[in-house]
Amino acid sequence: MTAPLLDVRGLTLHRGTKRILDDVSLTIGRGETVALVGESGAGKSTIAVALMGLIDKGDAVIEGEARFDGIDNLVGLTEKQWGKLRGKRLSMVFQDAGSALNPCYTVGSQLASVLRRNLGLSRKTAQTRAVELLENVGINDAAARMSAYPHQLSGGMQQRVMVAIALACNPDLLFADEPTSALDVTIQAQIIRLILDQTKTRGASCIFVLHDLALASQSCDRIVVLYAGQVMEAGRCDVVLRDPKHPYTRLLKSCVVEIGTQNLDPPEGSVPPYEAMPAGCRFSTRCPRAQARCADERPPLVETQGRALACWNPEWTR
Amino acid sequence: MLEPGMDAMIDPANERVATEREALFELLDVEKVYEVTKSEGFLKRSRRKLAALDGVRLRIDQGASMALVGESGSGKSTLLRVLLGLTEPTQGLALYRGRSVNQMRDAGPDFARDVAMVYQDARGSLNPRMTVGQLIAEPLRHFGICPEAEIPQRTNALLARVGLAADVAARYPAAMSGGQIRRVAIARALASNPTVLVADEAVSGLDVSTQAQLLNLLRKLQKDMGLTLIFITHDLGVASYLCEEIAIMYLGRIVETGPTQAVLDNPAHPYSKALRHSAPEFFEPISDPLPGEIPSPLDLPPGCRFSGRCTVAQSDCLANDPALTRQGQDRAVACYHPFAMSNISPEGIKERHVTF
Amino acid sequence: MAINGTTTPIAAARLRRSGMTRKSMFLRRPFFTMALAITFGFALCAIFAPQLAPFDPVAQSIEAMMAPPDSVHLLGTDSYGQDILSRIIHGTRYALLIGLCSVALGAIGGLVLGVAAGLASGKTEWILLRVIDSILALPSLILAVAFIAILGQGVDKVIIAVALSLIGPFARTVRSDVLQVKVQLFVEAAGLMSIPRFTVIRRHILPNVLFPLLVQVTIRISEAILVSSSLSFLGIGVTPPTPDWGLMIAEGRSFVSFAAWMSGMPGLALALLLIALSIVGDAMREEFDPKLRTGR
């Protein structure tokens, strides 16, 4: 088995007394798509931001290691070292393309400047390459759209431009942070497919940050379920989501409203604040199967039956 | 309680259950046109008409639960403002119990008491300098729902009804979570004992477990209080969970209405069908059933407004604009070729549009 | 009601957190604490001036003319032999009185004008805006000079002149706050509830405008004191022999080369008060203005 593209071990992020990420481990192979799912405060976006070296330093302390294709410690790199990686080997598609694009420059010049800066292309070749990239992401009449400002494009088109910029330097790993949550449903599928197609043709890996389990099952090979900064369950989508063993994954799945859903039975309650977080499994305050030790002892993330599971009392019976 | 002579104007598509239930809201060919100035180069501007609503026909019965579904630019928000009497239709009639909504609103507080609203941005709809208790007491006092001495008791009862503890009454909105703040907004809307609850994306942008809690709450409230629910959403799953009836909007027009289950099981309009299949479903291959994007309402295509993205458009679709007409017992659709391609699976639709 | 169980710890944690920040504000901002202490010192001077001052501030003495600071006259005397320390202590009264009253009057005027301009539309709005613009067109000192020219001299006239010159800036900030608040959803929601317009303004718009105005007031007090002292310095504000700092600086001007304490001491007092007030005002704004506050 070849080494995975990205191997994160024990990633922990403290901010003051708050432990935002608590011992997160995950791997992603070459050409693989992985979904990070969980509710707000689960730390899924924070993981992406930390692995892009974009954590606002302030009082943040990052521990743990992240190996990325020969680079030993991704989270410990200096800003100068990041300059050679970010946008070139790792890049990101943000949730809100409208605010991620600079409103003062045309999309063409933003795309061309990325190409010139990162790949050292000449002005002319950068222009030609930019038009090609825009055509690649399904923008009709790309040459004319080069001179459009972001606000002149619809949300879906802006997101396509974002994808084009993120993929301009053929990165090995793309983070897509809720790339469609600001878009209409009929546009959502277009963009997800676009990202999947584009990463596949480049052989790149992709980490999706999602909150929609059904969308994760449709678009990703593997899934990592997070709760309050801890990994609860991880594994192949079809294994984990068809038959979730962790009580939290079960809760998440039971709350999905699909067409024809007749009854929902959500437990009351919500994520506790960091001050009230238990030392052990953070889900234990809401868990229907919590035992005495759950709040004090953190269950280890163990590989069992084709998945990784962090639970003292998983639901093996269906 | 229709005014005499009004019957003739009612669209046949909406006549169906007139005998069973009283119509609360009726929209008769409502049109709302905004004038916009568009700059065409330096110092050159042209005035153009933007039809936010165009020939909307809708009937909402007492006790019904109606989902208004559509994407951005579909005119949901404008329709909502017309229903609430916040804006007057340019053409057509918006009636509440047979009387014009705008007249009702001007006539006094009765309409405001009857029709309560829950905003999408619940936090923004609550004055940040008032406590939850004060916020709920405001409608109680304004509409004279109960004597002054009973207000605290009543407030607690309302909070309990939406599943909040009595001690939140002393808190400010800023100290509450997204799920709680929506519960407060619902409690405030219920304070006036309304007949109709209008909810604009009341559960969107929340975590799934919180969303599920709220959906159950709304369902329970509707059943227990006999509320008429008008629920605006973009999520068909939510619509089907909460509402018996559905109206699907596209570019300022209702393109299909009917019982939610019937419409979603077998959509008649190609747009409804596309919407139905773009909702993510577990383990189904991802499909993008619709090419292109919603065109600008400023330059609508000739003929049917959906024809540009429609997979089954024919020559008549490009020539004429179909109106909402009756389709079977209790459904209505604005399409010349309803149910077209219903024999082709969504996979088939997908295959036709892998390249665009 | 399982939700009760989880809301209470959140509430407790939030309260704990906000309590912590409030307690530590003085520790977090040492300059603010110092400035606040100085401001309080001046206020005490103003209140207990007759008890604190060692001499009568207007008692003249030929023996002790232009005496440098010594053990009797701690800060020296001026050209009439009046004790400078006593005059500074009494001058605090006038500085603070003029500052507070004129800012209060100006803020009330600005509030009325700003709310009216923010809520009006069409021609009324246009006229109100032009009024505000014309007040804003001139610096407050020049405006105050113009008003003094019309009103004449004296403490009460200075207060009115400074207040009038401050209406412009107050009205502008109030109007922009009103414009922001009146499009808020909760104002629309109140209208939807058929609550009368006047009640909406009183209950929902005013409270949201008043708070930023109060913060503005703390910042503007120092400006008002500076303007009033400038008026006295120019000889058109308070009339002699009132112990006013601006007046004292002006009187000592001609002797500055050999009796620097005559202008220097009141100048120092003025600078100290103004700096202290600005630090307090800025800290208040940073602490309470939601626009400058990041995160919660």
Predicted confidence at residue B182, as pLDDT, reads 92
> Which C residues 202-231 touch B at CB under 8 Å?
203-204, 207-208, 211
Instruction: Give pairs for B106-113: CB < 8 Å, separation 24+.
Output: B108/C194, B109/B142, B109/B143, B109/C194, B111/B85, B111/C194, B112/B143, B112/B192, B112/C192, B112/C193, B112/C194, B113/B143, B113/B192, B113/B193, B113/B194, B113/C194
Give the pLDDT score at C61.
75
Which tokens hold the place of C98? 């003029």
pLDDT at C82 over 80: yes
Interface of B with C (CB under 8 A): 84, 86, 105, 108-109, 111-113, 117, 119, 121, 124-129, 138-139, 142, 160, 163-165, 167-168, 171, 174-175, 177, 180, 192
Q: pLDDT-based confidence at A195, cuts 50/70/90?
A: very high
Facing residue for A273 by CB, picked from C1, C2, C10: C10
The answer to whether the CB atoms of C9 and A276 lie below 8 A apart is yes
- Do the beta carbons of residue A91 and residue A169 sit within 8 Å? yes
- The pLDDT score that the predictor gives to residue C289 is 61
Residue C295 reports pLDDT greater than 70: no
Q: What is the DSSP letter of B91?
A: E
Does C193 contact B129 at a Cβ distance shorter than 8 Å? no
> What is residue B280's predicted lDDT score, i.e. its pLDDT?
84
For the cut 60, the answer to whether the pLDDT of residue A77 exceeds it is yes
Q: Using N-to-C axis directions, what is the helix angle for C206-233 and C245-252, rounded to 10°?
A: 30
Residue C242's pLDDT band (boundaries 50, 70, 90)? confident
Estimate the share of chain C in helix, then strand, then coil, as percent rounded to the nearest 5.
Answer: 75, 0, 25
**Which residue from C26, C228, C219, C64 is spatially nearest to C144, judged by alpha carbons?**
C228
- pLDDT band at residue B346, thresholds of 50, 70 and 90? very low
| Rounded Cα–Cα distance for residues C121 and B96 (Å) | 31
pLDDT at B350 over 50: no
Res. B339: pLDDT tops 90: no
Find residues 4-23 of chain C whose CB sits inside 8 Å of chain A. Answer: 5-6, 9-10, 13-14, 16-17
Mean pLDDT in residue range B144-149: 89
Mean pLDDT over B272-284 rounds to: 86
In chain C, residues with a C-beta closer than 8 Å to the C-beta of A273 are 9-10, 13-14
E strands, C88-238, where? none
Query: Which residues of chain B make contact with A259, given a CB cutoff of 8 A?
Result: 236-237, 240, 264, 276, 279
CA A49 to CA C137: how far, in whole Å? Answer: 48
Supply the mean pLDDT for chain B. 83
ipTM score here? 0.85
Residue C40: is its pLDDT beyond 60? yes
Residue B249 near residue B76 (C-beta atoms within 8 A): yes
Question: Which of C3, C8, C10, C296 to probe the A interface (max A CBs under 10 A)?
Answer: C10
CB within 8 A of B346, min separation 6: which ones? B277, B287, B289
Q: Do the Cβ atoms of B126 and C296 come within 8 Å?
A: no
Write down how long chain C is.
296
Q: Is the dihedral of CA B297, B300, B306, B311 positive or negative?
A: negative
SS3 A214: helix
Nearest to C155 by CA among C96, C108, C109: C96
Q: Region C249-274: what's the mean pLDDT?
A: 86
**In this structure, how many other beta carbons lie within 10 angstroms of the beta carbon of residue B54?**
22
Chain C contact for A56 (CB, 8 A cutoff): no
Q: Where are the alpha helices (DSSP H) in chain B?
A: 76-83, 101-107, 109-114, 132-142, 151-161, 178-190, 208-225, 236-242, 260-265, 270-278, 315-319, 346-352
Position A315 confidence tier, pLDDT thresholds 50, 70, 90? confident
Burial zone of A40 (CB within 10 Å; 0-12 exposed, 13-18 middle, 19+ buried): middle
Run of H or E residues at A35 = strand A33-37
- CA B287-B292-B296 angle, 5° bins: 140
At A1 the pLDDT is 52
- Distance in angstroms (rounded) separating the CA atoms of residues A270 and C192: 32
- Residue A86 has a pLDDT of 87
pLDDT of residue B244: 93
Using CA atoms, how far apart are residues B208 and B211, in angstroms rounded to an integer? 5
Whole-model pTM: value is 0.81
Average pLDDT over residues B104-122: 89
What are the residue ranges spanned by the domains of chain A?
Answer: 6-104+149-309
Residue among B125, B160, B174 whose CB faces C189 most closely: B125
Q: What is the pLDDT of residue C20?
A: 44
Burial letters for A174-202: b for 16+ Cβ neighbours within 10 Å, e otherwise?
bbbbbbbebbbbbbbbbbbbbbbebbeee
Q: Which amino acid is at B146?
A: C
Rounded to a whole number of angstroms, the distance from the CA of C22 to the nearest CA of chain B is 16
Alpha carbon of A85 to those of A5, A51, B92, B343, C261: distances in Å?
14, 11, 60, 51, 65
What is the full DSSP assignment across B289-335?
---S-PPPTTSPPSSSTTTTT-SS--HHHHHS----EEETTTEEE--
Q: How many CB atoms lie within 10 A of CB B170?
A: 12
DSSP C36: H
Q: Report whether pLDDT(A244) > 80.
A: yes
Q: Which tokens is B259 given?
A: 């019982």
**Contacts C192 to B, Cβ<8 Å:** 84, 86, 112, 117
Rg of chain B taking only CA atoms, in angstroms:
22
Q: Across the interface, do A272 and C9 touch by the CB < 8 Å criterion?
A: yes
Cα Rg of chain C (Å, integer): 24
- H or E element, residue C114: helix C84-119
**Residue B66 neighbours by CB distance under 10 Å:** 26
What's the average model confidence in pLDDT over A100-114? 91
Of the pLDDT bands very low, low, confident and very high (cuts 50, 70, 90), residue C23 is low
Whole-angstrom distance between the N-terminal and C-terminal Cα of chain C? 28
Interface membership of C186 toward B (CB under 8 Å): yes
Minimum-distance CB partner of C2 among A269, A273, A276: A269
Cα angle: A259, vertex A264, A268; to 5 degrees: 140
DSSP 3-state of B115:
strand
- In angstroms, the Cα distances linking A178 to A194, B121, B258, B285, B290 are 14, 20, 33, 19, 21
B354 CB-contact burial (10 Å; exposed 0-12 / middle 13-18 / buried 19+): exposed
Closest CA to C279 of C30, C107, C103: C30
| One-character DSSP codes across C204-255 | IIHHHHHHHHHHHHHHHHHHHHHHHHHHHHTTSSSPTTS--HHHHHHHHGGG
Give C66's DSSP letter.
T
With a CB-CB cutoff of 8 Å, which residues 120-159 of chain A face chain C?
none
Question: Which residues in chain C have Cβ-Cβ distances shorter than 8 Å to B125?
Answer: 185-186, 188-189
What would the pLDDT profile of B14-53 be if each residue is shown by its tens digit? 444 444 678 889 998 898 888 887 776 666 777 788 888 8
**A&C contacts, CB < 8 Å:** 27
Q: Cβ contact (<8 Å) for A275 and C16?
A: yes
**Confidence grade of residue A172 (pLDDT, cut at 50, 70, 90):** very high
* Stretch (H or E) spanning B253: strand B253-259
SS3 state of residue B24:
strand
In this predicted model, which residue has the larger pLDDT, B189 or B35? Answer: B189
Asked if B168's CB is within 8 angstroms of C7's CB, the reply is yes
Residue A153 CB burial class (10 angstroms; 0-12, 13-18, ≥19): buried
User: Domains plus CATH for chain C?
Assistant: 35-62+74-294 (1.10.3720.10)
Asked if A281 contacts A230 with a C-beta cutoff of 8 angstroms, the reply is: yes
A13: its two tokens: 């992020």
Q: DSSP character for B13? A: G
Q: Does B275 sit within 8 Å of A219, measured CB to CB?
A: no
Q: Is the pLDDT of residue A317 over 70?
A: no
Residue B209, token pair as written in the block: 């477990």
Structure tokens, A299: 């269950």
CATH superfamily, domain at A6-104+149-309 = P-loop containing nucleotide triphosphate hydrolases (3.40.50.300)
Q: What is the mean pLDDT of residues B291-318?
A: 82
pLDDT in tens, C202-241: 989 998 898 888 888 888 888 888 888 888 888 887 877 7
Query: Tokens 């500074």 belong to which residue?
Result: C88
Dihedral pair phi/psi, residue A63, rounded to 5°: -120, 170
Residue B339 CB neighbour total at 10 angstroms: 16
Which of helix, strand or coil describes residue C27? Answer: helix
Neighbors of chain C by Cβ distance (3+ pairs < 8 Å): A, B
